[in-house]
Amino acid sequence: MRRERATIHDIAKKLNITASTVSRALKNHPRISEETKKAVLKVAEKLNYQPNHIAAALRNGKSKIIGIIVPTADRSFFSSVVRGIEEIANTAQYNVMICQSYDNYEKEVATVEALLNARVDGIIASYAKGTEDFEHFLKVKNKGIPLIMFDRSNEELEVSSVIIDDYQGAYNAVKHLINQGCKRIAHFTGIKKISIYRERFRGYREALQDHGIAYDESLVVGSNLQLDDGRESMIKLLSLPERPDAVFSASDYGAMGAMQVLKERNIRIPQDIALVGFGNEPFTWFSEPQLTTIDQRSKQMGNATAEIFLEQIGAGNKTFVPKKTVLKPELIIRKSSQRK
User: Residue numbers of the site for a second copy (CB under 8 A)?
Assistant: 1-3, 5, 50-55, 57-58, 63, 65, 72-76, 79-80, 82-83, 86, 95-100, 113-119, 142-144, 227, 256, 260, 263, 281-283, 285-288
- Kindly determine how many residues on this chain lie close enough to bind DNA according to the rule CB under 7 A: 31
Query: Which of a second copy, DNA, none interacts with 1 (beta carbon under 5 to 8 A by kind)?
Result: a second copy
From DNA, a second copy, none, which one binds at residue 106 (CB under 5 to 8 Å depending on kind)? none
Beta bridge partners of 150: 162
Site for DNA in 59-98 (CB under 7 A): 59-61
Report how far residue 322's alpha carbon sits from residue 89's, in angstroms, rounded to the nearest whole number.
19
80 binds, among DNA, a second copy, none (CB under 5 to 8 A by kind): a second copy
CB of 158 to a second copy, least distance (A): 12
What's the Cα-to-Cα distance from 240 to each of 13, 21, 186, 276, rounded to whole Å? 85, 81, 11, 20
CA proximity to 150, closest of 328, 35, 303: 303
Shortest Cβ 311–a second copy spacing (Å)? 19
Q: 135-142 and 105-117 helices cross at what angle (nearest 10)?
A: 20
CB of residue 278 vs a second copy: minimum separation in angstroms? Answer: 15
User: C-beta of 299: minimal distance to a second copy in Å?
Assistant: 8
Nearer to a second copy, 45 or 288 (CB): 288
Q: Which is nearer to DNA, 8 or 124 (CB)?
A: 8
Rounded CA-CA distance 272/289 in Å is 13
User: Among candidates 67, 275, 312, which has minimal Cα distance to 180?
Assistant: 275
Q: Which does 33 bind (CB under 5 to 8 A by kind): DNA, a second copy, none?
A: DNA
Residue 215 near which of DNA, a second copy, none (CB within 5-8 Å, type-dependent) = none
Classified as helix, coil or strand, 160 is strand
Residues 10 to 49 in contact with DNA, rule: CB under 7 A: 16-21, 23-24, 26-27, 29-36, 49
Q: What are the CB-based long-range contacts (under 8 Å, 24+) for 62-65?
A: 62/121, 63/118, 63/119, 63/120, 63/121, 64/93, 64/94, 64/95, 64/121, 65/94, 65/95, 65/96, 65/97, 65/118, 65/119, 65/120, 65/121
CA distance 248 to 201: 10
**Binds 314: which of a second copy, DNA, none (CB < 5-8 Å by kind):** none
Write out the residues near DNA by the rule CB under 7 A: 5, 7-9, 16-21, 23-24, 26-27, 29-36, 49, 51-52, 55-56, 58-61
